[in-house]
Amino acid sequence: MRTAVIRVDVDPAGELPPAEFGKKISALISRAAKSGISVTAPDIDRLPARRREIQVLIDGDDTAAVREHAVGMCADIFGSAVRPGAVTFVSRGTDDDAHGVLAGFGITGEIDRSCDAAGFDTLTVRLARTDLERIPESRIQTALEAATNSEVVIVTR
């Protein structure tokens, strides 16, 4: 299972005083923890008044579903003015991460992992030729290498 990092601006207008912001963050962290969700929030004194963005970490692959869940949880505590930001995924270098990268491009593939004598991983990724006609191979390869910290070899099937 992949871990999504959802950024949420919980006070877009920058109107909450620091004490109230802190109380609401504490309430959010407590509520999230009961569901196995993590919340990270920087020190409010370091944030510009109109950029109070936090990060909510939720296990899941469905970008829309995790965004909706995070925004809903934040809105319950901070009010309906919360604004969703980018969704990214924590990369642990697993095959799930590689499949997630492929899904982000709207494609699927077969992944085989091997290890050389020096202990370095190589992923052989088999993709449909039609997918490589739509998406440059270099973009897929770069994204896979970044997500898996492995050598990537792309072959067509």
- In the predicted model, residues of the chain with pLDDT beneath 70 are none
Q: What is the pLDDT of residues 117-157, one digit of tens each?
A: 888 999 999 999 999 999 999 999 999 999 999 999 999 98
**pLDDT at position 50:** 75
**pLDDT at position 45:** 76
**pLDDT at position 33:** 95
> Side by side, which strands form the sheet with 121-127?
110-115, 121-127, 151-156
Whether the CB-CB separation of 87 and 63 falls below 8 Å is answered with: yes
**Structural domains of the chain ordered from first start:** 3-90 (3.30.70), 95-156 (3.30.300.20)
Q: Give, in order, the Cα–Cα distances in Å from 148 to each of 6, 53, 113, 124.
A: 20, 27, 11, 12
The pTM is what?
A: 0.77
